[in-house]
Amino acid sequence: MHQKKSLKIAFVVLTALVAWFAIILQFSISFSIFLSEGRTFGGILVQLLSYFTILSNILVAISLTLPLLNPTGKWGKYFSSESVTGAITVYIATVGITYNIILRNLIILEGFSVLANELLHVVVPVLYVLYWFLFAAKARLKWGELYYWLIYPLVYLIYILIRGAISGYYPYPFVDVNVLGYATVAINSLGMIAGFAILSALLILTGRSMYKSNN
């Protein structure tokens, strides 16, 4: 038991460090490029935080760091709960799946951008999914969690569509109304939400099965 706890802590520390490094690296690269083009600090920050990838990696980093710093505190317990770790697993897994199936190779990257990109879209998703399978609690996962887990992607989708309508900028090509039009984007959006729902259902089913098999 002590060995497993030590292994969990080591794995969590590793994953948190990789996530924070990837986020800081991406922010450093983006600010360096965009500030040299005359963009404002606030504008760059808003654009970066308009990416589901960035937001989900930040969630991963925070959700692993706070329980390490204060495991018995309010936020430590919250981010260690079955529902929250399950939700974040769905979100970060979606980042990896979507990028590697749909978005990979759409943009040619160079230098440290390649490293940041791979960390954010491959390494962190794989590490966090492994963390969920190996160490996360699964005892109280209920089917009703699925509805709560869909709130974040729904709110995100509404946000980027509203921001896009105002600014003309859409962070992902499959929601780019300027190119695709609202009808196609609506279909794509329904497909995205359906994907989240299916992945959530699979994770809940897996978690419940794993918990039963271990008890």
How far is C-alpha 106 from the geometric centre of its chain's CA atoms? 20
Q: Are 120 and 60 in contact (CB under 8 A)?
A: no
Question: Hey, what's the torsion of the CAs at 44, 103, 176, 151, to 10 degrees?
Answer: -80
pLDDT reading at 153 higher than 80: yes
What are the pLDDT digits (tens) for 186-195?
999 999 999 9
Where do we find the tokens 């954010």?
120
Pick from 61, 77, 205: which is nearest to 143 by CA? 205
What are the pLDDT digits (tens) for 97-146?
999 998 888 888 888 999 999 999 999 999 999 999 999 988 888 999 99
Pick from 114, 125, 124, 106: which is nearest to 26 by CA? 114
